[in-house]
Structure 1
């Protein structure tokens, strides 16, 4: 039996495996980056909604932050919440992670809360 040329095929499969694993790691890094960025956008929107009681301003800020930062269209939900007996605002930002290669895009959800300053009587 002649094994000439077998090493070439083995190297090809090894390289394909390394590339697939590398792309998978990059996709995970992109998803984590997207989640962290959406969390920052949600926190900023929660501060706006809690400070000025400007729900629509907070919603548009979260959407523009998500679009400008990671290039995703985000769905934003703003609702009243309870934070240890104090009134708070909870902002949830949901968007799809950018896709690399053959993987399907997953939905990334980030939530942030801020104490409602109007309810606290803050100036």
Structure 2
């Protein structure tokens, strides 16, 4: 009598596994997507801030800040995230400053499809010669 009973238990184990995987796989994929978006956002923000600081030095200009930002993004994540970079001048607390803005789309799970739109900025007070 132990033969049929073991067969039933194996079938139940397979059903249990499928039910658990139906819940866990989307959960794990969602966590991976959030981690990817946060990594790209933090990388873009750091590159924008560094580009703004570089462009704000007395012997540099906005073009050099943009080039540094683009290079850092390309080296850290991918060049496709460095397509829309703008550098401008602004005022922070009444002092002239440089602002670098990066806009990018992070695709779902890094594979394409609908994505998350990101916009980050970096500011730096300009050095006075």
TM-score range, shorter chain: 0.7 to 0.9
TM-score, normalising length: structure 2: 0.78
Give the total of aligned pairs: 116
TM-score, normalising length: structure 1: 0.81
Taking the aligned partners of 1:60 and 1:102, their CA distance within structure 2 comes to: 26
Q: Following superposition, which runs of at least 4 residues in structure 1 exceed 6 angstroms of deviation? A: none
For structure 1, which runs of at least 5 residues remain unmatched after alignment?
Answer: none
For structure 2, which runs of at least 5 residues remain unmatched after alignment?
Answer: 1-7
Counterpart of 1:64 in structure 2 is 71
* Contact kept in structure 1, 2:107 and 2:113, CA below 8 Å: no
* Contact kept in structure 1, 2:107 and 2:114, CA below 8 Å: no
1:72 Cα deviation after fit: 4.0
Counterpart of 1:34 in structure 2 is 40
Whose radius of gyration is greater, 1 or 2? 2
Taking the aligned partners of 2:98 and 2:114, their CA distance within structure 1 comes to: 32
* Contact kept in structure 2, 1:48 and 1:57, CA below 8 Å: yes
Taking the aligned partners of 1:95 and 1:67, their CA distance within structure 2 comes to: 13
Structure 2 residue corresponding to 1:85, chosen from 75, 91, 94:
94
1:111 Cα deviation after fit: 0.6
| Structure 2 residue 34 is the aligned partner of structure 1 residue 11 | no
Taking the aligned partners of 1:48 and 1:36, their CA distance within structure 2 comes to: 18
